Structure 1
Amino acid sequence: MLSTQSPPIQTRTLDNGLTVVVQPMPWLRTAAYTLWLPAGITTELHGLSEAQLADTEFLARRDGLASLTCEMVQRGAGAYNSRELVAAEDNLGIDSGNSAATSVAGYSARMPAESLLPAIELLADVVRRPHLPGKQFEDAKLILGQELAAFQDEPTQRLMRRLRERQYGPHLGRGGYASEASLESLSMDDVRQFYTDQYHAGGSVMAVAGNFDANEIFDSIEQSLGDWKSGKRPALPSPAPIDGNEHIELPSSQTHIGFSFDSIPYGSDDYFVMRAGIGILSDGMSSRLFDRVREQRGLCYSVWASTHTIGQHGAVFGYAGTTPARAQETLDVSLREIQNLADDLEQEELSRWKVRIESGLIMEQESAGSRASSLASDQYQLGRVIPTEELEAKIESITLDQVASYFRQHGPRQFRIVTVGPEALQGGEPLA
């Protein structure tokens, strides 16, 4: 259990729809922010017609648009050109980054506490007043091309992207990388239009954690972002899962195995009970998959499973890397461990998982960046932040019987499997 009560979380929603969540952490010397805008990968599809959504070639020409926009908004903003913006952040000790995820474009930064106020002003320039310089457009596309080449050379990433598409469908499971077609077809006009349509305060969340005065931060954000235009958060596409197995042939001395199955999303009543079971399977070197598949049998060099949420949809994704000769047995044993989880649970396993989670909560209290990210995630996904004490109580209250009962009733009934390697594998058929 945490030894001290966490500082109070304060939340305000500005008139333009931007929700601001702050949590002072006065024992730190740092501060951090996370801004989530409803401008993620799936919004590349926003406003398209049914015919366009059904046209895979047309959709491929829009691949990476959200990521390309993230790249372009950093290339000068407000009173700063591209180099001056980088220098301004460096002079303040700001470590910033951004990326496009499924439903959001995320902007985050960590810095010394005294740099937080000017960091918020710089952020406002970036998201509200980017130059979007056409002269740097080809340079930005070059970076996306390099990322695409690295992705294509990494079989694990290719595997997990395709598995995600099969789990959620081609729209909800859409990946963030550009394609060869989009690198040819995307224009600066596309970026400007995407920015105009998707970058706004409506439905956005900004979380700030660290050493600061809460009222001062609220005033700063109101001044910098309070008159930003509003808008609506686009609805996520509906899932359209693809059942069964898929093999991607690749001459190799390795076989990469990905598997997934339907689950419940973060925020569901039984989420932490389910999460405890997956933790027993895969959190740490004492977990069942690591110990029983990798260590005791020596079947693979890597194996794991993790929970995933997109909006109101949840899944469990897993991976194993092995040799072709041991691939089928690796898959069989891994799926059997998941299917039989409820049969022989031990209290020690659950207790060990609780210690790991509580340890993570303690470490989060020492990191402004981690805390800001958690605040933003909770607020965006749940509409509220789960206080650390409430989360701790939920974890502590979970019993072994609850975990066993949940997985007996809601364990995987069918797996979706994608493999990359020299030979296809069998498995994942619906369970009786």
Structure 2
Amino acid sequence: MTLPTLHTLKNGVRVVCDPMPGLETLALTVVAGRGAGYEDPARSGWSHLLEHMVFKGAGGRSARDIVEVIEAEGGSINAATGYERTSFQVRALKGGAGLAMAVIADLVRRPTLDAGDLAREKQVVAQEIAEAADAPDDYVFDLLQKGAWGDHPVGRPILGTVDSVEAATPQALAEWRAALYAADRLVISATGAVDEAEILALAQSAFGDLPATPGAPIPDPAPFVGGAFAETRKLEQAHLVLMLPAAGSRDDDYFALRVFAEALGGGMSSRLFQEAREKRGLAYNIDAYADTYADIGGLGIYVGCAAKDAAETARVCAEQVLALVERIEPAELARCKAQLKAHMFMAREQPLARAEQNAGQALTFGKLFPPAELAAGVDAVTAEDITRLGRRMLDPARAATAVLGAKTALSAGEIFRRTLFDGR
């Protein structure tokens, strides 16, 4: 089996090459290990705005040219901004690595940042902000983010605000681009029908002369502050997001958190699905998830239910958390491990997901993990680990809750807290 390799150029740019024999396509992603979590309030939303702006023109190509030159060869191009990283991604047919690298290098290094384009794109982003506010199952997560992480950059929406986005100028965005996409936290990751020697040569040609200057400094990890947000809206459903402080990707409890979330609400056999949906009929959508960053994380629960059932559903969620902290059955633990490993290996069969995973490992750990090592981490989780992690999450008696819906739903966050903590 061919294993991925990790190389570092002289200027600090890292290159991951991960061939997948038998494929006729490839994925190339260039990941800058900085994002919205690095912004101060005045630049809130600028990382996302910049990601939009580089597609308006770069390296002498127009916005249309950037897309057409990739699609003319059967490929596709996309980008994404998160709190800890910004990714530029191309899927292409075998042999398309050179064009993909050239186009992404132009986006990252040589965007036009035209004033007229910026004025128009501010309007587009303002509409995106309005759309997110109008979508309750998006907006409730923004409320939750604020409740969990407070005034830290991770507590602010990735999109920013209309005012903060409006303040951006071409020159200010150019300076932010240099800080955001600096060589010290840039990873080029290629997967699929790729050749290691070719990828290294392309990376050196496209990024080897990038100045080795440090970019925006890594912010201190966000403390989990815990907070409650509830807003009345005329909706058919109430939307609830409930979170407890947990573990980050570099934490020894990371795998225990993933198993805990899987057991609580990861699938149709999970406790929340069986108790809240199948047994009680309280909710159609209900799941639990591990929301992890490098050094911080949370255990989250999302529920969409009738407003009249919101408080009872929140109580059931808290009860299931408490019950899981006390005991996980051996068969349940084994099933959750099997599910996690299946998700992991299935993702490894998708070139783009694999390229992004490799880039994330290089950024967070400075190395790559063989799938067998990750699987061993999952297998090593014990029932005692689940209990210890659960008590750790409950120990500060802090939770973040966000509720959106009719007035009858707004007590759900308080019910969740009271059920979890008042008996302690």
Query: Is it true that 1:320 corresponds to 2:315 in the alignment?
Result: no
Task: Please list, as runs of the form range in 1=range in 2, the aligned pairs for 1:21-40 lying within 5 A after superposition.
Answer: 21-40=16-35
Cα shift at 1:204:
1.6
Cα shift at 1:268:
1.9
Cα distance in 1 for residues equivalent to 2:393 and 2:241: 21
Percent of matched pairs sharing the same residue: 26
Give 2:103's match in structure 1, choosing from 122, 134, 137: 122
Aligned to 1:133: 114
Cα distance in 1 for residues equivalent to 2:21 and 2:235: 53
Aligned to 1:155: 136
Is 1:308–1:316's contact at 8 Å kept on the other side of the alignment?
yes
Task: Please list, as runs of the form range in 1=range in 2, the aligned pairs for 1:345-384 lying within 5 A after superposition.
Answer: 345-384=328-367
Aligned to 1:197: 179
Cα shift at 1:410:
4.8
Aligned to 2:325: 342
Cα distance in 2 for residues equivalent to 1:405 and 1:178: 37
Aligned to 2:36: 41
Query: Is it true that 1:231 corresponds to 2:213 in the alignment?
Result: yes
SS of the equivalent of 1:227 reads coil
Is 1:308–1:317's contact at 8 Å kept on the other side of the alignment?
yes
Aligned to 1:17: 12
SS of the equivalent of 2:185 reads coil
Aligned to 1:48: none
Query: Is it true that 1:142 corresponds to 2:123 in the alignment?
Result: yes
CA offsets 1:293-335 (integer angstroms, 9 cap, x no match): 1111111121111112223112112211111211110000011
Cα distance in 1 for residues equivalent to 2:328 and 2:179: 50
75-84 or 232-241, which moves further after superposition?
A: 232-241
Q: 5+ unaligned residues in a row in structure 2: which ranges?
A: none
Cα shift at 1:197:
3.1
CA offsets 1:45-89 (integer angstroms, 9 cap, x no match): 2xxxxxxxxxxxxx3x53321111111111222132222222111
Letter in 2 for 1:185: A
Is 2:29–2:190's contact at 8 Å kept on the other side of the alignment?
yes
Cα distance in 1 for residues equivalent to 2:67 and 2:388: 53
Letter in 2 for 1:16: N
Cα distance in 1 for residues equivalent to 2:151 and 2:185: 24
Cα distance in 1 for residues equivalent to 2:84 and 2:71: 29
CA offsets 1:107-161 (integer angstroms, 9 cap, x no match): 1221112111221111111111112222222221222122112101012211111
Task: Please list, as runs of the form range in 1=range in 2, the aligned pairs for 1:284-295 lying within 5 A after superposition.
Answer: 284-295=267-278
Cα distance in 1 for residues equivalent to 2:137 and 2:27: 32
Cα distance in 2 for residues equivalent to 1:360 and 1:260: 23
Cα shift at 1:178:
3.6
CA 1:403–1:38: 2 relative to 1, 3 Å: closer
Cα distance in 2 for residues equivalent to 1:141 and 1:230: 31
TM-score, scaled to structure 2: 0.91
CA 1:218–1:405: 2 relative to 1, 3 Å: same
Is 1:339–1:411's contact at 8 Å kept on the other side of the alignment?
no
CA offsets 1:21-45 (integer angstroms, 9 cap, x no match): 1211112111112222144113332
Task: Please list, as runs of the form range in 1=range in 2, the aligned pairs for 1:62-101 lying within 5 A after superposition.
Answer: 62-101=43-82
Query: Is it true that 1:211 corresponds to 2:193 in the alignment?
Result: yes
287-296 or 175-184, which moves further after superposition?
A: 175-184
CA 1:240–1:349: 2 relative to 1, 3 Å: closer
Cα distance in 2 for residues equivalent to 1:163 and 1:381: 25
Aligned to 1:259: 242
Give 2:92's match in structure 1, choosing from 111, 119, 135: 111
SS of the equivalent of 2:245 reads strand
Cα distance in 2 for residues equivalent to 1:406 and 1:197: 37
CA offsets 1:245-277 (integer angstroms, 9 cap, x no match): 221122334221111111111122222122112
SS of the equivalent of 2:61 reads coil
SS of the equivalent of 2:96 reads helix
**C-alpha RMSD of the superposition:** 2.0
Query: Is it true that 1:167 corresponds to 2:162 in the alignment?
Result: no
Cα distance in 2 for residues equivalent to 1:163 and 1:169: 9
Cα distance in 2 for residues equivalent to 1:410 and 1:147: 34
TM-score, scaled to structure 1: 0.90
Letter in 2 for 1:87: E
SS of the equivalent of 1:114 reads coil
Cα shift at 1:401:
4.1
Cα shift at 1:237:
4.0
Letter in 2 for 1:102: Y
Query: Is it true that 1:299 corresponds to 2:299 in the alignment?
Result: no
Is 2:189–2:359's contact at 8 Å kept on the other side of the alignment?
yes
Q: 5+ unaligned residues in a row in structure 1: which ranges?
A: 1-5, 46-58
221-230 or 32-41, which moves further after superposition?
A: 32-41
Aligned to 1:49: none
